[in-house]
Amino acid sequence: MSSPPSGGTPPYPWYHGSITRLQTEDCLTRANKTGSFLVRDSESFKGAYVLSVLCDDRIYQYRILPTPDGAGYLIKSSDATKQHTFSNLAELIKSYSLTNNGLCCALRYPSEAQKLETEEDQDSDDEPPLSDDDEPDTLTTASSSEIALHVLQSRLDHLNVNSLDTIFLEKLREYMGSKVKQDYDDIKSGATSATNLRQLILTSANDLTRQVDLFLIKMQALQQLFDLSAVPSKNNATDKVN
């Protein structure tokens, strides 16, 4: 087995090292739960990994590649239209356990790698196995608000901001950093509107109002310039001479 990924001391249970694709499929088939997953070393790319996920009786394989600068890892969505970057594998797994964000489904059940049996493990062989009721049900116990906020933050991190002005972008990040949770809690408590989001929209509209006013002034000037009713006709000019 290869060395565990960064931050994995002891190795993460979902990291299986250099197992084959066939062994991967066998592990996940035996798990037989949508959301079961594991991470293994890539067989074709050194330094890369593969995230394997069981979803609706089908196994999906996602290649995890090191970033060009070697500072993290990137993974593509199922349709290859989105690419997400993470500083380490643990961060990647945590992110996709909260929301699928382009994968076939969220990561819920880690398929644990086999480990060498120690004396302590042998002593525990006589202990009764966990019942279905005792077995942990999911990878994470994140609340609905944490999941919602995580989704929003992930969307903000991958938002194309090239066309946004600096002032609006700063206010948007400020809202996401401290005020969005307040709006979320207010809505859950029965509020009919998101006060902070409304304020963000109104503030952003101030510049729009100024631009509209300037546009109307320009249109009024053009109307005055090309107002044919204000131009004296030939007959009117003759009458005035006579």
Question: Which whole-number Å values give the CA distances from 93 to 127, 205, 238, in the listed order?
Answer: 31, 39, 88
pLDDT, position 132: 40
CATH fold of 1-114 reads SHC Adaptor Protein (3.30.505)
pLDDT, position 69: 83
Q: Kindly compute the dihedral angle of the four CA atoms of residues 205, 206, 207, 210, in this order, to the nearest 10 degrees.
A: 120
Q: Return the structure tokens found at 144.
A: 């609905």
The rounded distance, in Å, linking the Cα atoms of 55 and 150 is 22
Environment class of 196 (CB within 10 Å of its CB; exposed 0-12, middle 13-18, buried 19+): middle
Residue with tokens 């999906």: 60
pLDDT, position 154: 67
Query: Please, which residues bridge with residue 40 across strands?
Result: 50
Cα 28 to chain center, whole Å? 25
User: Are residues 107 and 93 in contact, defined by beta-carbon separation less than 8 angstroms?
Assistant: yes
Output DSSP code: residue 236: H
Helix (H) or strand (E) holding 208: helix 195-225
Largest CA distance in the chain: 125
The rounded distance, in Å, linking the Cα atoms of 52 and 60 is 6
Residue with tokens 């790319």: 45
Q: Kindly compute the dihedral angle of the four CA atoms of residues 147, 149, 152, 153, in this order, to the nearest 10 degrees.
A: -110
Going residue by residue through the chain, which has 242 residues, state the pLDDT in tens, using 9 for 90 and above.
444 555 443 478 899 999 999 999 999 999 999 999 999 999 888 889 999 999 998 999 999 998 888 888 988 766 656 678 888 999 999 989 988 888 899 999 999 877 644 444 444 444 444 434 444 444 444 455 666 666 676 677 666 777 878 888 888 888 887 788 888 888 888 888 889 888 888 888 877 778 888 888 988 888 888 876 765 665 655 555 55
Output DSSP code: residue 15: B
The rounded distance, in Å, linking the Cα atoms of 61 and 2 is 19
Cα 189 to chain center, whole Å? 26
pLDDT, position 162: 78
Domain boundaries, the chain: 1-114, 160-228
pLDDT, position 224: 83
User: Are residues 183 and 194 in contact, defined by beta-carbon separation less than 8 angstroms?
Assistant: yes
pLDDT, position 242: 54
Entry pTM = 0.51
Q: Return the structure tokens found at 183.
A: 């709006």
Alpha helices in 84-194 (DSSP H): 89-98, 119-123, 144-157, 166-174, 180-188
The rounded distance, in Å, linking the Cα atoms of 224 and 14 is 74
